[in-house]
Amino acid sequence: MGMPVSSSPSPLLELRGLSKRFGTVQALDGFGLDVQPGEFVTVVGPSGCGKSTLFNIVAGLDEPDDGGILRFKGRGCHAKELLGQVSFMPQRDLLLPWRNVVDNAILANEIEGASRREARAKALAMLPEFGLAGFETQYPHQLSGGMRQRVALMRTFLFERELMLLDEPFGALDALTRSMMQRWLLDVWQRHRRTILFITHDVDEAIFLGDRVVVMTARPGAVKLMRAVNLPRPRAPDLLTSPEFTAIKREVLDAIEEEAMKSFISGTAAPP
């Protein structure tokens, strides 16, 4: 484990010794992490190291194996108690093709039992902020990849929960759209003040966005490095070339390199 970064009294989410095994595959092994309210934590790690598995547990979709500790808002709980408590955005946008932009955005609110009319009004008011003004009655197949992603993000934001889990939300976007979306997300995050756990493959993205970067080990996933990012906010693109940024990047890349090498070797030499 890296150095403990913050030790304020009540983390929103506490994970200790989380493990998860699928048959013969040990996806997670002793993963631990504290997330403070309002914090933006980014998670990077080699492909297949258990990042989505971690999110599935925190979203309540999968139970961790016995022995791990999962605490939310200071209370120990089973993963399934988190269903409906955490705002989860999976790796794919998973928009429903028969719902237009607004109705896709309010899906979670509808499930909660909110009045459709009120939810729609709220979503309509939020459209400009998500760069979707005028597109409310469009259907997913009429939208670009970037717009679909913004609809999915809007759905996640409209499901007002303190903790948001974003699994590679910009993974499928081109570099330009991506860097625009990053700044936009920071902007929205600062206005809505949620706690965010954010998975990415992109080290620049992880550092640019996060208050803290968690580097995971190759499978079985655990914490390899925990690195605080003490860069001032709001963050501008020129930050990416600053010496402070580069220093952090060096450190994070070294850790990733080591793990990527391991997973590459184990992947080519022997089955897991």
Ligand X SMILES: Nc1ncnc2c1ncn2[C@@H]1O[C@H](COP(=O)(O)OP(=O)(O)OP(=O)(O)O)[C@@H](O)[C@H]1O
Residues that bind ligand X (CB under 6 A): 22, 25, 27, 45, 47-53, 219
Q: Using the rule CB under 8 A, give the single segment among 56-64, 120-128, 218-226, 227-235 that binds other proteins.
A: 56-64
Residue placing its CB nearer to other proteins in the complex, 7 or 98: 98
Q: Does 97 sit behind a cis peptide bond, omega within 30 degrees of 0 on the bond before it?
A: no
Q: Using the rule CB under 5 A, give the single segment among 52-60, 102-110, 148-156, 200-208 that binds Mg ion.
A: 52-60
Residue 147 tokens, joined:
């717009």
Q: Closest distance between other proteins and the C-beta of residue 252, in Å?
A: 29
Which of 96, 121, 175, 265 touches other proteins (CB under 8 A)?
96
User: Which partner, ligand X, Mg ion, other proteins, none, binds residue 139 by CB below 5 to 8 Å per kind?
Assistant: other proteins
Which of 67, 69, 78, 112 touches other proteins (CB under 8 A)?
112
Binding of other proteins by 11 (CB under 8 A)? no
3-class state of residue 19 by DSSP: strand
The DSSP output letter for 62 is S
Which of 84, 131, 171, 267 touches other proteins (CB under 8 A)?
84
Q: Per-residue b/e over 196-221, b at no fewer than 16 CB within 10 Å?
A: bbbbbebbbbbbbbbbbbbbbbbbbb
CB 146 within 8 A of CB 176: no
Which of 69, 83, 133, 247 touches other proteins (CB under 8 A)?
83
Residue 143 tokens, joined:
């939208």
Q: Starting at the earlier edge strand, list the strands of the sheet with 87-89.
A: 87-89, 163-167, 195-199, 40-44, 212-216, 223-228
CB 107 within 8 A of CB 95: no
CB 197 within 8 A of CB 40: no
Q: Which of 5, 12, 4, 52 lies closest to 28 in space, CA to CA?
A: 52
Residue placing its CB nearer to other proteins in the complex, 160 or 251: 160
Binding of other proteins by 184 (CB under 8 A)? no
Q: How far is residue 160's CA from residue 195's CA, in Å, rounded to a whole number?
A: 11
Residue placing its CB nearer to ligand X in the complex, 62 or 136: 62
Binding of Mg ion by 52 (CB under 5 A)? yes
Residue placing its CB nearer to ligand X in the complex, 49 or 151: 49
Residues at the site binding Mg ion, with contacts judged by CB under 5 A: 52
Binding site residues, other proteins, CB under 8 A:
56, 59-61, 83-86, 88, 90, 92, 94, 96-98, 107-108, 110-112, 139-141, 159
